[in-house]
Structure 1
């Protein structure tokens, strides 16, 4: 399991406690992005790594592609070479390190000048500022282009029993010896024991191909087989994923996720059969 840092508390001491607990429990992959809290998330991680002398123990991933400023909420997509080469320096400064283990494009569209983006990442890798690179995307056409025209090491996708669309891409990704990072393993809390409350709070109109009624019925049936979070983790462990990137906004949330992870046996049984088979319908060509 990896630690998704996006929802770390803004208060440093609270965030540091979560990160320290993660390391103590064997987590060594921290996932952030320059866009998260406009760089402050990277600063939290950088301060922690410096104060605790943990840089050599942690695989750090960050993301790039969104141009933002500190005065307003305006964010513009910018996958240009110039933006990437400039942004990496700021991420390195905030994180207090001279290299990133993994640098990902934070999105991507087929209309982008993708060759320019690829050239920027290759330049950073050649110069030693990053060790590997990849993309965080749910667009099949974009993923396909990078698989066939770049040396990406990683594709990050939302991947869980509800959003199981990545199943249609796993073989193609594996054929290029590219690893999958699975984000959103519990689908914003739906795949937890609190699913009814989460539906009321976040998904009153349903989600994806599920109406609210279908979602409630499906999760209720699945929960009768096994704890939903445990099933969600087991499902991903049975998929060709390199890491399950799970966010945590408190130590309790982190330890609960880890407890479910530790309870998962080598059994191939999951509650996957309760869920619809979904495919990507957009961005296919």
Structure 2
């Protein structure tokens, strides 16, 4: 396993992490979740990602029980939570980024995960109804209380993150350390354009999600069959609609040929492509089967195979590289 600094912080996170969205407390049994975390930890993964909104809090409960039963030393793993969507209850003060909800959601996450503090705490979405100043000050208070160590954002715009940093500088308090954006061969603008000044001037770290574009970049959907996959879930119709687009499937078929020429799986190829970006601190893996996770955990071996020539071929196929904004 390779470890990378989380932005300009001193925290070292595994280049590959394990996330629980759509799986823990929902798609897979607690026994399988336990097995997956054990496989990841034994492979050197030290970052486990979660959120209050995953399975309405059940995901954190499952992960908390596993962390407790495994008995791993607390200083050997990094665990995160996110606040915005609420857990089981969705009352007026049970969602969003108000001082009240951010504080109470933190307490709830600590209880569900059965830990004394969160290593990483993300604002899961921007909250248009709460001043950024209020959220920044609340996060700093939680750090001072020892309940969280680092805070960050997820799916915020560059302008919103910049405002949060400015507020923290005005108050001389701790600002956001990391952002959790979607990043894959189809979704590239934030990581490769919007955030460039944040990387350069503020050392923003990133823990990227959906590196396989919800499984599309694993190649398993190219025949159009979604049976026995998450896309067969009627509640995820929006996800299926986004993934199963003809032009995207065609590009995946072409990428498969490139991966075949390198004698690697398309999933490992796509993960290695994300890992090659120096602004990526950690790539969050999702998994429902142990064999799938074991395979993807070896993606770092593929990074050296991504030569300039291979990368040029990828750009030729994808046509998704963003045009850089004028600074």
In structure 1, the partner of 2:195 is 170
1:133 equivalent to 2:161? Answer no
1:11 equivalent to 2:29? Answer yes
* Superposition deviation, residue 66 in structure 1: 2.0
Over residues 16-67 of structure 1, what are the superposed CA-to-partner deviations in whole Å (9 max), with x where a residue is unaligned? 1110111011111000001111222111111111111113321001111223
Of 217-226 and 242-251, more deviation after overlay is shown by 217-226
From 101, 122, 127, the equivalent of 1:83 is 101
Matches of residues 53-202 of structure 1 in structure 2 within 5 Å? 53-54=71-72, 55-69=74-88, 77-150=95-168, 151-166=175-190, 167-174=192-199, 175-197=201-223
CA, structure 1 residues 199+77, in 2 after alignment: closer, same or farther (shift >3 Å)?
farther
Alpha-carbon distance between aligned partners in 1 of 2:66 and 2:143, rounded to the nearest angstrom: 25
In structure 2, the partner of 1:274 is 317
What secondary structure is seen at the aligned counterpart in 2 of 1:88? helix
From 275, 281, 292, the equivalent of 1:253 is 292
Confirm or deny: 8 A CA contact 1:190 1:198 kept in the other structure.
no
1:216 equivalent to 2:249? Answer yes
In structure 1, the partner of 2:52 is 34
Normalising to structure 1: TM-score of the pair?
Answer: 0.86
CA, structure 1 residues 279+143, in 2 after alignment: closer, same or farther (shift >3 Å)?
farther
* Superposition deviation, residue 177 in structure 1: 1.0
CA, structure 1 residues 34+198, in 2 after alignment: closer, same or farther (shift >3 Å)?
farther
From 227, 231, 234, the equivalent of 2:272 is 234
What secondary structure is seen at the aligned counterpart in 2 of 1:26? coil
CA, structure 1 residues 76+83, in 2 after alignment: closer, same or farther (shift >3 Å)?
closer
Confirm or deny: 8 A CA contact 1:163 1:278 kept in the other structure.
no
What secondary structure is seen at the aligned counterpart in 2 of 1:152? coil
Confirm or deny: 8 A CA contact 1:105 1:135 kept in the other structure.
yes
> RMSD across aligned C-alpha pairs, in angstroms?
2.7
CA, structure 1 residues 158+206, in 2 after alignment: closer, same or farther (shift >3 Å)?
closer
CA, structure 1 residues 73+87, in 2 after alignment: closer, same or farther (shift >3 Å)?
closer
* Superposition deviation, residue 146 in structure 1: 2.6
* Superposition deviation, residue 278 in structure 1: 6.0
Confirm or deny: 8 A CA contact 1:102 1:130 kept in the other structure.
yes
What secondary structure is seen at the aligned counterpart in 2 of 1:103? strand
What secondary structure is seen at the aligned counterpart in 2 of 1:187? coil
From 67, 70, 73, the equivalent of 1:52 is 70
In structure 2, the partner of 1:283 is none
* Superposition deviation, residue 130 in structure 1: 0.5
Confirm or deny: 8 A CA contact 1:109 1:142 kept in the other structure.
no
Confirm or deny: 8 A CA contact 1:28 1:57 kept in the other structure.
yes
Alpha-carbon distance between aligned partners in 1 of 2:50 and 2:224, rounded to the nearest angstrom: 25
Confirm or deny: 8 A CA contact 1:156 1:180 kept in the other structure.
yes
Q: What is the number of residues matched between the two proteins?
A: 276
